[in-house]
């Protein structure tokens, strides 16, 4: 047995009910018990036979698993400081091969899954210095061990068990100090606890005390990362990391329920219970997401965790995107693996037989919390609907950018105001760039895409926004034909301005006014108003893209002249190119202690029929 040390205080363990955990561990269900107990096999087969989406998804899983039979097992290949892509590949393969072996009965898939686990077991480590890698690899082998427990010989089970203990649990339990992620507030806490709980529960017959200890630490630490959803389900790290962190949070909850019969109340936390509202609203009519923070605008798509939320809360409107994404995702899944589809098969486990999407009742949404949002769309059914998503918050949040007061805008199927998104982490890190230096003078803010000059907001005296500031959304009103939201950015710009309030008003489902109330500080300030866009600017104040037109009218300050500053070429040796990107806006001066009211109106002009 691996030796481990007790790292939690007695009070912390008691607070999460150590005796209850131990009792649940003692009465744990037999294998398979992680996510998919044996009692679910017949019911899942019946649902697949009765549901076209499930039948298509199951066909994709079986066809993809057949393709995997001829692929070589995973290899130990790090990219910079990360093994993560290899861990994700292992999870993709083991989960789907084991699912196919279990539900389809083909032992070739069980043997192939074992070959994958043996390759992982032979690795020198699972890269605990970047613990996400360790967590995902541990989850992969825990699922394979559990789901194939009755199909693998004792020698294979022993090999996998030793690998989980040595490469997965030991780096966590044997650490001299608790890792920073254990009680963190971001996706690391969710992913890493899920991996450790999976490993401990898979092997609980071999060490029940260890399993109880790992579960207790998860129950003590995970609520810190779950509080960030309070009170509305808003997630501060952006849609991409919502998909990552929330999916693994759901996995952890589902494992506790299937193995121990309870999740100890985790799923009933009010903010987390509403988490799927966030993913529903942060996706625009075009299918692109509101990609603030380190998020690509194409981060949306099929997310199995949404099926879990919809079934759990009995809210079919949460499936609005899922129902149309699932068939496309199944086709893509068959063509080959990506890092995003490693959890695809969990959709089969979490779907509800009777669930069919209904149109969401609300077209506006206000998410409070660390990075507050205000979102409005004119229609759920029209792909050309007007869509406005506005952001307050702080650059100090996990994965955040200096995007306070920024927004994305869609109309006519075109995204007019865009967020450039993140840069490749590895490319920057291997060149010695301090991407994670989030101090006010840190490297992170030297990048165009991360600085406020790369977002549709204000730049004052060319300076960066204040990292440790916070901008609340102080007003929010939803109407049948629009929305009003006010972001108070005064703290964000207080080094240069006394007051900075930005009011967004949507009128008649086609016009957006951005009104800035600015009060100068002790010295005059030079302020750039900017809209980051891929559209062309014409002399008549019209933006054009994809055959569509958006009029941009500067009503004040008087005399402001619109320009388009190109942003395609990198500003520094570290910046990535931004094909087709530019910033449309103007520059004006705010006098010392002067109050100025700016107004810019964006009006979509439908093409004549």
- Average model confidence (pLDDT) for the chain? 95
Distance separating alpha carbons of residues 467 and 124, to the nearest angstrom: 40
Q: Is 569 helix (H, G, I), strand (E, B) or coil?
A: coil
pLDDT band at 352 (very low <50, low <70, confident <90, very high): confident
* pLDDT reading at 609 higher than 60: no
Cβ atoms of residues 399 and 241 within 8 Å: yes
Strands (E) in 563-607, as ranges, are 563-566, 582-590, 595-605
Which pair of tokens denotes residue 23?
């009792």
* pLDDT reading at 9 higher than 70: no
Q: Give the pLDDT confidence score for residue 335 in this predicted structure.
A: 84
Which is it for the CA torsion 17, 19, 20, 25, positive or negative? positive
For residues 216-238, give the mean pLDDT.
97
State phi, psi for 184 to the nearest 5 degrees: -80, -175
* pLDDT reading at 291 higher than 50: yes
pLDDT band at 3 (very low <50, low <70, confident <90, very high): very low
* pLDDT reading at 15 higher than 90: no
Distance separating alpha carbons of residues 537 and 70, to the nearest angstrom: 53
Radius of gyration of the chain (CA): 25
From the CB of residue 490, how many other CB atoms can be counted at a distance below 10 Å? 18
Distance separating alpha carbons of residues 144 and 198, to the nearest angstrom: 11
Which pair of tokens denotes residue 222?
């995970």
Q: Give the pLDDT confidence score for residue 355 in this predicted structure.
A: 65
Taking only the tens place, the pLDDT of each residue in 452-480 is: 999 999 999 999 999 999 999 999 999 99
Which is it for the CA torsion 204, 205, 206, 210, positive or negative? positive
Whether the domain at 10-350 and the domain at 364-605 fall into the same CATH topology: no
- Sketch the domain layout of the chain as residue ranges: 10-350, 364-605
- Residue 318, by phi and psi: left (phi above 0), alpha (psi -120 to 50) or beta? alpha
* pLDDT reading at 13 higher than 60: no
Of 130, 253, 247, 117, the closest CA to residue 187 belongs to 247
Q: Give the pLDDT confidence score for residue 263 in this predicted structure.
A: 96
* pLDDT reading at 378 higher than 90: yes
For residues 201-212, give the mean pLDDT.
98
User: What are the strands of the beta sheet with 414-417, ordered from one edge?
Assistant: 364-367, 373-377, 387-391, 407-411, 414-417
Pick the CATH number of 10-350 from 3.40.50.800, 3.40.50.720, 1.50.10.100, 4.10.95.10: 1.50.10.100
Of 290, 583, 603, 595, the closest CA to residue 458 belongs to 583
Cβ atoms of residues 130 and 84 within 8 Å: yes
* Lowest mean per-residue pLDDT among 66-75, 178-187, 600-609: 600-609
Q: Give the pLDDT confidence score for residue 482 in this predicted structure.
A: 97
Query: Torsion angle of alpha carbons 369, 397, 587, 580, nearest 10°?
Result: -110
pLDDT band at 82 (very low <50, low <70, confident <90, very high): very high
Taking only the tens place, the pLDDT of each residue in 564-604 is: 999 999 999 999 999 999 999 999 999 999 999 999 999 99
Taking only the tens place, the pLDDT of each residue in 517-557 is: 999 999 999 999 999 999 999 999 999 999 999 999 999 99
pLDDT band at 12 (very low <50, low <70, confident <90, very high): very low
* Lowest mean per-residue pLDDT among 145-149, 282-286, 290-294, 353-357: 353-357
Distance separating alpha carbons of residues 344 and 335, to the nearest angstrom: 13
Distance separating alpha carbons of residues 186 and 203, to the nearest angstrom: 27
* pTM over 0.85, yes/no: yes
Cβ atoms of residues 141 and 156 within 8 Å: no
For residues 410-439, give the mean pLDDT.
97
Task: List, in order, residues 6 or more apart from 5 with CB less than 8 Å away.
Answer: 173, 174, 176
Distance separating alpha carbons of residues 285 and 281, to the nearest angstrom: 10
pLDDT band at 11 (very low <50, low <70, confident <90, very high): very low
Lookup result for tokens 């009170």: 231
Burial class (CB in 10 A: 0-12, 13-18, 19+), 574: middle
Q: Which residues pair with 584 in a beta bridge?
A: 531, 564
Domain with residues 364-605, CATH architecture:
Distorted Sandwich (2.70)
Q: Give the pLDDT confidence score for residue 354 in this predicted structure.
A: 63
Distance separating alpha carbons of residues 140 and 305, to the nearest angstrom: 17
* pLDDT reading at 193 higher than 60: yes
Distance separating alpha carbons of residues 534 and 549, to the nearest angstrom: 12
Cβ atoms of residues 300 and 405 within 8 Å: no
For residues 23-31, give the mean pLDDT.
96
Cβ atoms of residues 389 and 408 within 8 Å: yes
Cβ atoms of residues 478 and 363 within 8 Å: yes
The 3-state secondary structure of 147-203 reads: HCCCCCCHHHHHHHHHHHHHHHHHHHHCCCCCCHHHHCCCHHHHHHHHHHHHHHHHC
pLDDT band at 339 (very low <50, low <70, confident <90, very high): low
Cβ atoms of residues 216 and 210 within 8 Å: no
pLDDT band at 337 (very low <50, low <70, confident <90, very high): low
């Amino acid at each position: 047995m691996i030796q481990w040390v007790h790292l939690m205080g007695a009070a912390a363990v008691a607070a999460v009910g150590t005796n209850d955990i131990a009792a649940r561990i003692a009465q744990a269900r037999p294998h398979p018990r992680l996510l998919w107990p044996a009692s679910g096999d017949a019911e899942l087969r019946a649902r697949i036979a009765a549901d076209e989406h499930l039948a298509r998804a199951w066909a994709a899983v079986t066809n993809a698993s057949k393709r995997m039979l001829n692929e070589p097992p995973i290899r130990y290949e790090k990219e910079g400081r990360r093994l993560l892509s290899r861990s994700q590949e292992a999870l993709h393969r083991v989960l789907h091969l084991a699912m196919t072996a279990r539900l389809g009965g083909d032992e070739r898939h069980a043997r192939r899954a074992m070959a994958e686990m043996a390759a992982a077991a032979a690795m020198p480590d699972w890269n605990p210095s970047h613990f996400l890698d360790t967590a995902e690899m541990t989850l992969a082998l825990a699922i394979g061990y559990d789901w194939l427990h009755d199909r693998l010989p004792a020698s294979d089970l022993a090999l996998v068990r030793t690998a989980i203990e040595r490469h997965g649990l030991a780096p966590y339990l044997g650490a001299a100090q608790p890792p920073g992620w254990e009680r963190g507030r971001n996706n690391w806490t969710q992913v890493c606890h899920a991996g450790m709980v999976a490993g401990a529960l898979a092997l609980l017959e071999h060490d029940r005390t260890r399993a109880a200890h790992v579960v207790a630490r998860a129950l003590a630490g995970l609520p810190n990362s779950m509080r960030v959803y309070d009170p509305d389900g808003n997630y501060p790290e952006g849609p991409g990391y919502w998909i990552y962190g929330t999916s693994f949070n759901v996995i952890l909850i589902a494992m506790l329920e299937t193995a121990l019969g309870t999740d100890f109340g985790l799923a009933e936390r009010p903010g987390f219970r509403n988490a799927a509202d966030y993913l529903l609203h942060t996706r625009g009519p075009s299918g692109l997401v509101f990609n603030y923070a380190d998020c690509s605008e194409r981060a949306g798509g099929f997310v199995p965790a949404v099926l879990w939320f919809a079934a759990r809360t009995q809210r079919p409107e949460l499936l609005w995107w899922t129902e149309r994404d699932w068939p496309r995702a199944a086709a893509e899944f068959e063509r080959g693996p990506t890092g995003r589809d490693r959890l695809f098969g969990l959709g089969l486990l979490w779907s509800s037989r009777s669930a069919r999407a209904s149109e969401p009742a609300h077209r506006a949404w206000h998410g409070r919390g660390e990075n507050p949002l205000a979102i409005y769309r004119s229609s759920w059914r029209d792909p050309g609907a007007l869509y406005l998503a506005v952001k307050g918050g702080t650059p100090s949040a996990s994965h955040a950018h200096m995007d306070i007061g920024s927004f994305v805008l869609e109309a006519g199927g075109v995204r007019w105001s865009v967020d450039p998104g993140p840069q490749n982490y590895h490319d920057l890190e291997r060149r010695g760039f301090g991407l994670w230096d989030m101090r006010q003078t840190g490297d992170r803010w030297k990048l165009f895409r991360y600085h406020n000059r790369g977002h549709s907001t204000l730049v004052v005296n060319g300076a960066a926004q204040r990292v440790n500031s916070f901008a609340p959304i102080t007003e929010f009103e939803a109407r049948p034909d629009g929305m009003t939201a006010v972001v108070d950015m005064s703290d964000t710009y207080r080094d240069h301005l006394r007051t900075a309030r930005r009011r967004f008003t949507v009128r008649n489902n086609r016009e957006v006014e951005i009104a800035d109330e600015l009060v100068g500080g002790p010295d005059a300030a030079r302020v750039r108003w900017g809209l980051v866009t891929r559209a062309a600017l014409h002399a008549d104040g019209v933006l054009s893209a994809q055959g569509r037109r958006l009029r941009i009218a500067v009503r004040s300050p008087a005399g402001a002249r619109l320009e388009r500053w190109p942003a395609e070429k990198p500003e520094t040796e570290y910046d990535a190119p931004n094909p087709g990107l530019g910033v449309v806006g103007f520059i004006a001066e705010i006098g010392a202690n002067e109050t100025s009211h700016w107004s810019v109106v964006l009006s979509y002009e439908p093409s004549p029929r």
